[in-house]
Structure formats: structure tokens, C-alpha cells
Amino acid sequence: MPSSQAGYAPNLGFYLKSLKAQPVESSIENLISLLKRRQITNSRPCAVATAHLLLQVVAKFRWTNVNKLIERIQDVGRRLIEAQPREMVVGNIVRRVLGMVRDEAKEDRNDDASDSASNSQMGSPHQEHSDQGTSHLGGPPPSFSPLRFSTTEDSDSTEANGDDVFGGKPQTASRPPLITSHTSYAPAGGLPPQKSMFQLLSANPSPASTPSGAQSPHNTSSLNATSLSHRITTSSKDLKAEVIEGIEEIVDELDQADDRIAAQSLEYIHSNEVILTHSSSKSVQKFLLEAAKKRKFTVIIAESYPNDHEATHKSVTRSISTDAEGADELSTPKFSKSLSDAGITVILMTDATIFAIMSRVNKVILATHAVIANGGLIAAAGARIIAKAARVHRTPVIVVSGVYKLSPQYPFEFESLIEYGDPGNIVRYQDGALVENLEVDNPVYDYVPPDLVDLYITNIGAHAPSYLYRIVADHYKAEDINFDKPELQ
């Protein structure tokens, strides 16, 4: 595990810092190398890195045609996925960005079609809005802090963010309240009003946004050649802004997923329950902590030897861990400390005793590495034992996972998703006889089939495993699902 303390070893923190200064191509290659070398591992860091990289790709890519942009993102995505196919979130983020671009482009095309009609009629009333909105785009690209793990109420921050960058845009305001801002581009009930509002915007580029700063041809409804080309540039500029905004929303979603999941905890954790969890995960931690604010309960932690036990032990012994930046998801600082501080009884035990203790457990809460479209999940090794034991004892198994971990892919061979790590975690390399004579396998992940899971809690609510396909359909476009494998399309 690369430490985030002083040192030269690159990690997520270094990478994000280097993004702006580097040319895009080296950033891409850099991320590929980091993924290959496992210097960025686990779902959240991979997702954050991918999202920020795509942001740069979109921001620095000059395109005239949306298809070019889609191709570009596909190309980058393909390379990233190839670099580390087992980090499925990378593909997820790429697909979501692609889906979003497609949505925006579709709206854009609709604009073009209705342009001349809407232009003269609806232009003037919204002039001021578009003035505000587009003037930002002419200036420097919107700045954002990639590592802003906002602790404020997420809806607030999102809106604040939207106001900041794209002040007064009707689109933001018109978002249907039922759908969270992160999934705004998903085809949902709120689409028609959005579309019409967006038309108003992009059909009325203000003079301020044109590079030449010359006359504004849209005051007249005549469509001469210059105005047409002018509109293409402006619309692509708008589109770019939209896409960037969309990616930023994904980044925000990544930041806030845990909080949103935690917010639902009181519905699932009751007083005096005994909860079993596995290794140490930030999502689970927040989930439990949130519940502990109101309720008292017991948590049993299986240490998850040999890959995560140190992180788990550390959390139990309260030693200070690395700070959150760049630290991977599964090693969480002050896990037990805050749990016990919050009044929870914490029991640490080995994985081997899971079955013995399962009869006393009321609920199992699992963290996950990736969720597959069929409702199964890829989680830290040992998860399947727990799920299986829970099934025998009819203990409910709850999986907490951000939607970003949900992958549309449905691999036929689950074995290929399981990464085999360093056998040195199991057998010391010093033991020459063991090294020479044994094959030491250290699978890092387990595949848990969907029938062993009772409930998924995501940042957009709770779902049965059989319902996940709907969420997949909401979040990914069918044409993007296998974009990295042309032979399957």
C-alpha cells in the first residue's frame, strides 16, 4: 500500500495534483501505469481518478462533433479498462460519462432542430440567464477541488456548486426534487421540462460567449453561414460545459455516496442488535456511526486475514493511520475508535470463527468492491463465507455500496474477476521450503452470488438484488455497456 506520507511513491493524491499541469496524454498513461502497478487500488480511488481524468480529457479535447468526443472518451476508457479490468469502477465511470454525453448531445440535436423556431420566440426572456451562465465559460475553466469530501448536507453543496459555476441556470433549478442531482441525466420523469429549458439556453448564446465578441447574429432569425458555424461552436461550448458539469456531479456523487448511504442506517440497524461486518470499510463505518448516534448495538468485525487484517487490527488498536487522502478505501483511520467512542461494543475475531458466531448475529453488513448486474458482488475475500454462513442461519445480509460500484457488465466467468494478490501475505517469503514446494494462492476478492444477498443499500435507496438490473438500465446506456469489447456489440 503506498503510504501518503512523505515519500516519492506516487499515489492518488499525487496523481490528482499532477492532473492539471500535465498534458492529457501523459495523465492517461500515468493513470494506466498506476492502475497496472496497483498504486491506485480499490473502488473509490479508482473511480475518483477516472472521473478526474475524464474531466481533463473533456476539458482539453477540441472537438467539432459530439461523436468525436464520444469516440475519444471510448478510446481513453478502453485503455483504462484494459489496464486493470478487475477494477470495474473504472469502466463504470467511463460508461456513465459516455451516457451523459449522449444525453447532452441528444438534447443538443433537438435544439438544433428547433433552433430557428425557438430562437426568436423564447430568446429574449432568458437573455439574462444565459448571459450569466455563459460568461463563466468564456473565462477560465471552472475550478473545483477534487478532494472535497464535503461534510455539509450534500444537496446544499451541490446546489451551491451549481450556483457557483453555472449561476442561475434554469436547468439546475428545474431538476425534479425526487431525483438526486447526481443522476440527473438518467432518463427519468423529469426529462421533458429539462429539455425545453435547455433549449432556451443553448439557443441563445450571448454575445459575451463568442470569442470574436462581434455582433450577435441570433437577434435575427436569418440563418446565414456564419451564424451557423457560430452556433456550432457555441453549442459545442455549451455542450462541453454541460459535460464537465455532469462529470463534476459524478465526482460529487463519489464524495457523498457514503453519507447518503449512512443516512439510511437507522432504518436497518436497531437497538441492541449484533451486527457482523468484515474487514474495514469506510462505507460500512459511516453507516454504523450514523446509526450509533441514536442507538446502541454490538459490532463484530471479522479481521479478514491476510489482506486487510492489518488495517482492521490497526483500527482496533486505535493506532493512527494515514490520513484519508490517498488512503484506500479499506484502510480506514480510527474505525474502531470512533465506533467505540460512539458507544458501540466492538468485537474483533478471526474469519475462521464466523460460522460459530453467526447464530448470535442479527445482521450481516458487507462492503463490496464491485456489484455485478445480476445482483452478485465482488467483495474482499471471505465475504462469501460470511454470506454462506448467514444463509445457513437465515441471517439477513445487507450490502452497502455506492451506485458507482454497480457494473453493467455480466461476466460469464466470475473467476476472471478475482484478483490474485501477493502470496507473501500468507506465507513469509523467508520460508524457502514453502516457497519452493507449495503453490500459494491469495485471492483478494470473493464472488458472492446474488441469492446470498438480501438487500443492497445504495446512495439512491435500498434495492433487492433482483432489482439491480433496473438501476443498471437507469445509469448506463445500452450502447455503452460493451463499448470496450467491440466483438460483443
Partner 1 sequence: MSHPQKGKVAAGGKGAAKAKKAAGGKKSENDREDTLQAVILADSFETRFNPFTLETPRCLLPLANTPLIEYTLEFLAMAGVADIFIYCGAHTSAVQSYILSSKWHPSTSAASPFNTLEIVKTTARSVGDALRDLDSRDLITGDFLLVHGDLVSNLPIDEALRNHRERRVKDKNAIMTMILRAGGLGEHRTKAKGITPVFVVDPGKNRCVHYEEMHPLQAHKYVDLDEELLKDHKNIEVRTDLIDCGIDICTPDVLALWAESFDYEVPRRHFLHGVLKDYELNGKTIHTEIVDDRYAARVFNLQSYDSVSKDVLGRWTYPLVPDSNLVAGQSYTFERGSLYKENDVMLARTCKAGKKTVLGKGTSVGAGTVVSNSIIGRDCQIGKNVTIKDAYIWDNVSIGDGSNVERAIIANEAVIGKSCKIQPGALISYKVDISDNTEIKPNQRITRAKRKRDEDSEIEEEEVSSDPSIVGSSGHGYEFRDAEEFSDDDEAAFHSSLIYSTQHLNLSSASISTLSSSISSADEPSGPRSRLSSFTSLSDDGDNEGFHHDAVQGLLDTLHEHGDFDSAKLEFMGLRLSNDATDHQIRRAIAVAFSKHISQLVDGEQKTEASKAAASAFATSGAVQFLKNVALSTGTEEDAVDFLRCLQKDAVNRGSGPLVLAALCQRLYEEEVVGEEAFLRWWEEAEGMGDDEDVEMKRVRGKTGVFVEWLREAESESESGSSEESSDDE
DSSP state at residue 22: S
Q: How far is the CB of 238 from partner 1 (least distance, A)?
A: 30
Rule CB under 8 A: say whether 37 interacts with partner 1. Answer: yes
Which CB sits closer to partner 1, 36 or 296? 36
| CB of 377 closer than 8 Å to CB of 414 | no
Q: Which amino acid is at 162?
A: G
Secondary element (H or E) of residue 282: helix 282-292
Binding part of the chain for partner 1, among 5-13, 118-126, 131-139, 365-373 by CB under 8 A, reads 5-13
The three cell numbers of residue 271 are: 437497538
Rule CB under 8 A: say whether 439 interacts with partner 1. Answer: yes
Select from 207, 396, 421, 461 the one that contacts partner 1 (CB under 8 A): 421
d(CA 110, CA 112): 5
Q: How far is the CB of 5 from partner 1 (least distance, A)?
A: 7
Rule CB under 8 A: say whether 319 interacts with partner 1. Answer: no
Which CB sits closer to partner 1, 225 or 433? 433
Select from 148, 428, 470, 485 the one that contacts partner 1 (CB under 8 A): 428
DSSP state at residue 123: T
Rule CB under 8 A: say whether 7 interacts with partner 1. Answer: yes
Rule CB under 8 A: say whether 145 interacts with partner 1. Answer: no
Which CB sits closer to partner 1, 208 or 440? 440
Other CB atoms closer than 10 Å to residue 144's CB: what's the count?
Answer: 17
Contacts of 102 (CB under 8 A, 6+ apart): 70, 477, 479, 480
Residue 397's nearest CA partner among 452, 351, 349 is 452
Q: How far is the CB of 141 from partner 1 (least distance, A)?
A: 16
Which CB sits closer to partner 1, 2 or 45? 2
d(CA 393, CA 395): 5
Residue ranges in 77-96 that form contacts with partner 1 under rule CB under 8 A:
82-83
Three-class SS state of 119: helix
DSSP 365-422: EEE-SEE-TTS-EEEETTHHHHHHHHHHTT--EEEE--GGGB-----S-GGGG--B--
Site size toward partner 1 (CB under 8 A) is 49
Q: How far is the CB of 400 from partner 1 (least distance, A)?
A: 28
Residue ranges in 253-312 that form contacts with partner 1 under rule CB under 8 A:
none
The three cell numbers of residue 43 are: 473502488
Contacts of 23 (CB under 8 A, 6+ apart): none
Select from 177, 212, 394, 415 the one that contacts partner 1 (CB under 8 A): 415
The three cell numbers of residue 480 are: 455503452
Binding part of the chain for partner 1, among 13-21, 185-193, 334-342, 379-387 by CB under 8 A, reads 13-21
Please give the residue ranges that form the binding site for partner 1 (CB under 8 A): 2-3, 5-10, 13-14, 17-23, 25-26, 28-30, 32-33, 36-39, 82-83, 415-416, 420-424, 428-433, 435-436, 439-442
